[in-house]
């Protein structure tokens, strides 16, 4: 019998359907717990009910249970507040973004004895995504689907790869497609979030800069020449709207034939110019507002609301969401055994969803980017300096060599984090990161 996880991976990529088998698997459980009752959880639960899963078999677990009450007519309870039979219950993670969307989310339940666990994002792609093998690669579908997580999507890069093989073949005989690649355009921000995953507060003043356009153009051109395709191109900072040449950066990416969609992530506490709105108004770009207003002033909340209103009025594809944050890794050295580091890398979602290109360096994950960009360790085998590769083929091979390492020395710094925060974007400086540096 085919393993359910293998079947799910095939289906989410758009290979073979498998809808009947997957539904039969779900129907085999007495209770299905949907962990997360936010926008994705609500839409996913409605989708399951529409596919014939009885609502009485479903239950939601969410920390906001008291405020939510019920979703889709299904009661919302606090996580683990309901005692269920572990053998006949299935957990489906319906938190598509943030630290609980990956392996940390799985560990939360495996540690409590729940052995049946599936990714809601994977099931959404397999059972509900409207971009199929029949439609082929169609980024407009991604733009119209606002509940899923492009960072974790396998359907988009899979269909992009097939599209690229037919429309823009290259000289390479092997395959290198990124589900997502993040291009960092600056190291400055309009906020001072204590638990920023980029550790922006801890750059020295001389490093709080917009990267030069020449540097960004080189990075964008060379990465796209070295890979077959990038499903989701993420443009971030810092705060990207602080970069005076953001429109030109978008033009560079839009000119590439081998990408799926672009997302520009902003805190919304910034000056979004009319030229930005005009540049972003197309069927390949989305403006992603991270809502930190629970931690911000009344004046900042008003600016956030005005920017959303302007983007909406301009006809942009936008999303607005309140991220679930956990404390990022402290980046301290932990002196772990090599076997532990290898196990960490093997189970780490970051190596798929957090590939980062920052100031002339390809980093395979967020921890390597944190260490390298803050000069905390010289683990040069953990990343690739783009200018050191003399050709697209050499850059490709160097990236593949790094990606395929059994573990990174940087894994030894990936710990002392993961505690859930009450809300994202709390302002100020946190002593736990003082060792990283910066003007504290």
In a domain, residue 71? The reply is: yes
More confident residue, 88 or 154: 88
In a domain, residue 364? The reply is: yes
Do 37 and 184 fall within a single domain? Answer: no
Do 284 and 394 fall within a single domain? Answer: yes
Q: Could you list the residue range(s) of the whole structural domain that residue 266 is in?
A: 139-413
Residue 407 has pLDDT above 70, yes or no: yes
Q: Final residue of a domain: which of 93, 127, 161? A: 127
Do 87 and 174 fall within a single domain? Answer: no
Strands 356-358 and 177-184: parallel
Task: Give every CB contact of residue 222 below 8 A, 6+ residues apart in sequence.
Answer: 386, 389, 392, 395
Do 325 and 406 fall within a single domain? Answer: yes
If one counts the domains in the chain, the total is: 2
Q: Which tens digits make up the pLDDT trace of 166-184? A: 567 777 878 899 999 999 9
Looking up residue 18, the CATH number of its domain turns out to be 3.40.50.20
Do 116 and 195 fall within a single domain? Answer: no
CA gap 261, 282 in Å, rounded: 10
Q: Which two tokens stand for residue 185?
A: 């355009």
In a domain, residue 430? The reply is: no
Average pLDDT for 270-277: 97
CA gap 273, 276 in Å, rounded: 5
CA gap 297, 16 in Å, rounded: 51
In a domain, residue 419? The reply is: no
In a domain, residue 382? The reply is: yes
Do 122 and 145 fall within a single domain? Answer: no
Q: Which tens digits make up the pLDDT trace of 208-245? A: 999 999 999 999 999 999 999 999 999 999 999 999 99
In a domain, residue 427? The reply is: no
Contact 369, 358 (CB under 8 A): yes
Do 175 and 302 fall within a single domain? Answer: yes
pTM for the structure as a whole:
0.90
Question: Cα 24 to chain center, whole Å?
Answer: 30
Do 114 and 198 fall within a single domain? Answer: no
For the chain, what is the mean pLDDT?
92
Do 39 and 154 fall within a single domain? Answer: no
Question: What's the confidence (pLDDT) of residue 1?
Answer: 39
Do 194 and 254 fall within a single domain? Answer: yes
Q: Final residue of a domain: which of 77, 95, 127? A: 127
């Amino acid at each position: 019998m085919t393993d359910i996880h293998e079947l799910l991976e095939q289906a989410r990529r758009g290979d073979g359907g498998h809808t009947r088998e997957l539904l039969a698997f779900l129907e085999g459980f007495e209770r299905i717990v949907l962990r997360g009752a936010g926008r994705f959880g609500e839409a996913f639960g409605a989708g399951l009910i529409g596919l014939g899963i009885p609502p009485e078999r479903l239950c939601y677990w969410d920390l906001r249970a008291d405020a939510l009450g019920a979703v889709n007519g299904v009661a919302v309870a606090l996580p683990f507040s309901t005692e269920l039979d572990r053998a006949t219950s299935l957990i489906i993670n319906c938190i598509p973004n943030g630290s609980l969307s990956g392996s940390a989310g799985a560990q939360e339940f495996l540690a409590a004895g729940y052995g049946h666990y599936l990714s809601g994002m994977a099931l959404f792609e397999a059972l509900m995504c409207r971009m199929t093998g029949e439609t082929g690669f169609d980024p407009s579908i991604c733009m119209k689907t606002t509940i899923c997580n492009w960072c974790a999507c396998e359907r988009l890069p899979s269909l992009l790869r097939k599209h690229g093989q037919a429309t823009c073949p290259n000289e390479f005989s092997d395959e290198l497609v990124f589900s997502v690649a993040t291009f960092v355009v600056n190291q400055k921000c309009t906020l001072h979030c204590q638990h920023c995953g980029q550790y922006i507060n801890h750059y020295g003043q001389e490093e709080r800069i917009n990267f030069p356009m020449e540097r960004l153009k080189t990075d964008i051109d060379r990465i796209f020449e070295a890979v077959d395709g990038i499903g989701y191109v993420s443009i971030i900072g810092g705060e990207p709207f602080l970069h005076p040449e953001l429109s030109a950066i978008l033009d560079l990416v839009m000119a590439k034939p081998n990408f799926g969609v672009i997302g520009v992530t902003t805190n919304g506490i910034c000056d979004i110019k009319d030229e930005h709105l005009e540049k972003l108004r197309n069927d390949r770009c989305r403006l992603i507002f991270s809502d930190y207003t629970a931690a911000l002033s009344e004046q900042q909340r008003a600016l956030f609301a005005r920017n959303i209103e302007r983007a909406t009025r301009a006809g942009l594809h936008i999303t607005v969401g309140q991220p679930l944050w956990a404390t990022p890794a402290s980046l301290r050295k932990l002196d772990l055994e090599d076997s532990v580091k290898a196990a960490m890398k093997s189970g780490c979602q970051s190596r798929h969803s957090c590939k980062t290109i920052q100031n002339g360096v390809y980093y395979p994950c967020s921890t390597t980017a944190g260490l390298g960009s803050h000069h905390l360790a010289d683990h040069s085998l953990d990343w690739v300096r783009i200018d050191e590769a003399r050709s697209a083929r050499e850059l490709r091979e160097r990236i593949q060599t790094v990606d395929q390492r059994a573990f990174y020395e940087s894994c030894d710094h990936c710990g002392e984090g993961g505690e859930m925060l009450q809300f994202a974007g709390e302002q100020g400086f946190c002593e736990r990161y003082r060792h990283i540096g910066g003007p504290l």
